[in-house]
Amino acid sequence: MEKFTTLNGIAAPLRMINVDTDIIIPKQFLRTIKRTGLGIHAFNDIRYNEDGSDKSDFVLNKPEYKNASVLITGENFGCGSSREHAPWAILDMGIKCIISESFADIFYNNSFKNGILPIQLSKEQVEQLMQSAENDPDGTITVDLDKQTITRGNVLSFDFDIDPFRKHCLLNGLDDIGLTAEKKPHIQDYKKKDQEKRSWLYQG
């Protein structure tokens, strides 16, 4: 998993609440266990017309936001059915940080495990960032995970909270496999001792 330290990028304002996982990645695209390749299908039903062309009113289709790496959106983002494909799709399309008033628990946890930083701010702070992104699309936003700050130009600056363990994992690029790999010396030591005690298990 890629490390998340400091992110500088364009922020796209998605003025929607209760964006569920079927909006993020519709069920017909769940026929893969690969983490890549889903970005093109992210937000499919609100992103494309029936003929496959882009919907001009969808924020991530607008030229000024097409390369956004931060998504600012409404409350209860990621609700609905549990599917890890949702953060896979969002990350694959280039979004590395999502700012919202609130997230659905499962989506929130899955985001951390896949290298996305979900940040919860107050309703007022989210609205200020949303308006700033709408009024100045070319302005960049800086997310500093180590300092736990969000800044936009010289006007807006907010602190955010994050669980220390999740922060450690993101800063060091550790998913579940990476966390297990950190324990490799202990695992090997246990295996060696167990082989001495129960050698018959390792025969054949």
* Structure token pair of residue 122: 């107050």
| Count of beta carbons in the 10 Å neighbourhood of residue 76 | 18
User: Is the residue at 203 inside a domain?
Assistant: no
pLDDT of residue 180: 66
Lowest mean pLDDT among 101-115, 147-161, 168-182: 168-182
Q: Would 204 be classed as within a structural domain?
A: no
190 or 157, greater pLDDT: 157
Q: Which residues pair with 103 in a beta bridge?
A: 77
Structural domain includes residue 177 = yes
Is the CB of residue 43 less than 8 Å from the CB of residue 58?
yes
Give yes or no for a contact between 117 and 111, defined as CB atoms under 8 angstroms apart: yes
* Residue 15 placed within a domain: yes
Q: Is residue 1 part of a domain?
A: no
Which 3 state secondary structure label does DSSP give 201? Answer: helix
**pLDDT, tens digit, 9 for 90 and up, residues 81-130:** 989 999 999 999 999 999 999 999 999 999 999 999 999 999 999 999 99
Instruction: State the CATH number of the domain containing residue 76.
Output: 3.20.19.10
Query: Does a structural domain hold residue 64?
Result: yes
95 found inside a domain: yes
Q: What is the pLDDT of residues 180-193, one digit of tens each?
A: 666 677 777 777 77
Which DSSP helix (H) or strand (E) runs through 11?
strand 6-14
Q: Which domain holds residue 148?
A: 6-198
Q: What is d(CA 67, CA 46) in angstroms, rounded to the nearest whole number?
A: 18
Q: Indicate whether 44 belongs to any domain.
A: yes
Question: What is the number of domains present in the chain?
Answer: 1
Q: What was the pLDDT predicted at 98?
A: 98
Under the banding of pLDDT at 50, 70 and 90, the label for residue 156 is very high
